[in-house]
Structure 1
Amino acid sequence: MASSPASSSIALFFLLVLQVITSETASAKTCPISQCSPNGPDVRFPFWIRERQGEECGHKGFEVSCDDRSRTILHMSEAGDFIVDAIDYGNQTVLVKDSDDCLPRRLLEDEFVSSYSPFPAPAYKNFTFGNCSSEYSSLISPGSGVQRVDCLSLGRGSMVVVSVAGDDLARLWMSQHHCGTWTALIPWWWQPPTSLGESIWLRWDDPDCKTCEAADGRCVLQDSKKGPKLVCAHKHALSTSAQFAIASLFMLPWLTCIFGFIWFLKVRVFVHRRLDQISSNGVPGSAPPNGINREAVEIARRNAIGVMGIDSSTIESYPKTQIDDLGQLPRPQDDVCAICLSKYERNEMIRTIPECEHYFHMYCIDQWLRKNASCPLCRNNKG
């Protein structure tokens, strides 16, 4: 049995959706998300772990590795290695700290900001450092404007403090305690630092995947004739081309049915008009030309316009009987007309279908047979 347009379109729809989802899932499986530890940050494009993912899963300058303590280590060329605490793929930022817990010393190194680094610092801020006697360590308070940098306080009897340059309270504190001072530019990425803590946010601009991440997608590298190119793979959504293909496949069977139905109506009207011309020869009431049988023309016309009943002359040939004053019927148990569901009354006319001998009210069965060539009870075809 031929399938309907609806079932065909639905089948094509699900097949295409399955193909698109399968292809996108395959892309995601090529470069799976990885972690150095269950609590560690997710590592995915543009970052990649050399031991677990290939170079096609990441971008240059974003290589990480897992150390013997299951920490995620970011390799920053000349600047060295840093521990990764968190990665924000939507804002394209990464939180790092020094593996030796001395971030201020790393920030003072010229190699920290390199022209080869994918994490360029957009701005810098001046910080004032002071080399002071350690006997004043207990006098450092939140209101003093300075903070002690333990990892830089390596000299015996001395300590290093730091503050934002231009802080009057910090400058007064260092002056009162006879600290030797110097100023250094510290790079910043996310927001201007007010102090030098244990970690710092770095930002990257290339590759730019913010729009893709905002659309709940993931950037992946896809092979092309010109080499690998960056594309956005959506896990649940479909691309514009896939949506257009699905809509086309869904609408095609329906459009075919609509145009086919219009064509059928045109052919039906044409045949109907042509048969009318043959039956009347252009003049109402005239006989058909060339001895064409009027009854045959009438049957052909009725079939052409979709009328599947019996012609009037045939109906009139079926036996008709008037119920007498006593209301006697051919079969007393059949005392209800199956068409109108009314009981037969005295003096009413009934008509019997010869082939099956079922009878009905004459006006009921006449109207029925003009539209249907079968018995209402047994459905035997009379045409």
Structure 2
Amino acid sequence: MTTQSTASSSLCIYCEEPGPFSKEHVISAGLGGDDKRFMLVDMVCKRCNTDVFGKLELAALRSSPLAISRAFLQPHGRDRGKHTTAPGIQARRKLMVNASGYPDEVDFGPHAKPIVLPQLKITGEKSFSSTAAGPDELRSFVTTLSTLFQDHQITCIRKRGPEHELRYEAITMLRSDNTFIHAESSFQAKPPRAGLWLERYDETDAGDVTPAATILQKLNGGIVLKTSSTTVEDALDFFASAVEQFSYESQVTRDTEGPIVSVGMTATIGVMERVIAKIGINLLAHYLGRDYVTDPGFRHIKTSILTGNPLVTGGLVENNRIKQLLNAAPANHHVFYLNRTRQPEGQVAITMIAHLYGVAQWVRLALNVPEPHLPFPLFFLVDYVNHKVKQQSEAEYAEALPEMWDK
């Protein structure tokens, strides 16, 4: 069922500003809620959806404790056809210890399996090491680098801080007499379509084992040059020469048993709670309609969702009976549990418990709002493998529990 507004002049249920509007997933698509039956239409403006919620969900699903659980337990993210991928973890450091003393750059595949990225590292004044998941991956990577360095011009891309309106610096490097020189730079709102991405090592994390530079290929095919104690120009000179004299015969294949992976992540406090609260408001809008969630009693939580200030009121669920109730849900399912508590003068408080990847967390959505006109409490089960959502009453959910326990 899709909830729609018939008034073209309706305001956004979050910021209370006019549209234009965009479709909003009731339950975040990245959490498995990409079910076309659960969408809000003409309720959420494009500004909130894109400028706030898009960034908020990305931070929660890629750079928070939730991201770790999601990477291990959810086989794929939002359904994008042939471009569907495993959930990723966005971190400033993803390294695997190896015998050389210089950690390997890794990323994560399905169920957070670490994958060693193809890479070359400067380990001495004239020495380098090479690593990849296998011989074929290494050969393909070196071939790609050979093609890159044969060109007399390379475009390097450096991402700038969020305080810059033009977020990307495009640097033209020219090669003359086997030496790269910085020719010119320009600043752009979007990155060039192709180029070599530049990054710096976080030396406070890596300590004394940081190579002077590493060039690597990410899972999406992008090439990245990370530098620490050398310049970009000198690193390009070194790797161009290394590729020309690369010998596959000298490569040794080793299996890594029980790999130790180090992940350094910067997480923003309150991001998960804001995403959970947003899903709660969306579910109320889907179930009870626009008019209910535009009651002034919801303004406090909407401000928290949009700005992060004040923090969303909530925490981990400690009640064992409720945890047992939610843990009884089918495998590979989230549960969102909406409930209300009666208050004086016919008003209610509404809370929601989100049971995500086996962890239950509650948030308060409102105090002193009208009694809902439809039955409460209410359960929403999200099959995050097949991206399906099922709405159930308390009786329907309870009726299924014996079957779950008997399995």
TM-score (norm 1): 0.18
Instruction: Name the larger-Rg structure.
Output: 1
If asked which structure has higher relative contact order (CA below 8 Å, sep 6+), I would say: 2
Normalising by structure 2, what TM-score? 0.17
Structure with the bigger percentage of strand: 2
